[in-house]
Amino acid sequence: MKTPRPVAAALGCATLIVMCLSGAGAAEASTATDAYYGCPAGAVCVYGQDPAKEPAGPPDPNRITNIYYSYGAHNLSNQYGYHWVANNQTGGSNATFDVCRGYNGVDCTFGGIPRVAWHVDLTPINSIVLNRP
């Protein structure tokens, strides 16, 4: 069974808190077909709102609300407060995603690498862009 472990610190930004998590145990190798916190291989997933402003633990696989597979911009609606966003794309280390303040991928703030979950305040975020590797 996989044991999630925090592996990186938060990014310092007024509207964004980011936390990286590793999903693989030391003795287990992950493959491109593995789900990551319930997020299917090849996807970026958004999880239901976290009522706490601080990450209390890893993303809950039972709270996935949005799953994105296709490259390009995906507009959000009615997403407020802190949510986990997990990148489980399978295109290698360049299969990143960005969160953007504008619709259609405008005014993007950072890129998330594969097999990482980010705790993000989605209140100012209006789109997520999956970048082609």
Residues 45-59: tens digit of each pLDDT: 999 886 766 656 788
Q: What is the reported pTM?
A: 0.73
DSSP 14: T
Q: State whether residue 116 is helix, strand or coil.
A: strand
DSSP calls for 24-72:
--TT----TT--BTTBPTTEEEEE--BSSSS--SS--GGGEEEEE-SSE
Structural tokens at position 99: 């969160």
How many domains does the chain fold into?
1
Q: Which amino acid, one-letter code, is at 16?
A: L
Question: Structural domain of residue 97, as residue ranges?
Answer: 5-130
Grade residue 32 by pLDDT with cuts at 50, 70 and 90: low
Structural tokens at position 117: 């979950």
Structural tokens at position 38: 């319930």
Grade residue 4 by pLDDT with cuts at 50, 70 and 90: very low
Residues 8-31: tens digit of each pLDDT: 222 223 223 333 333 333 223 345
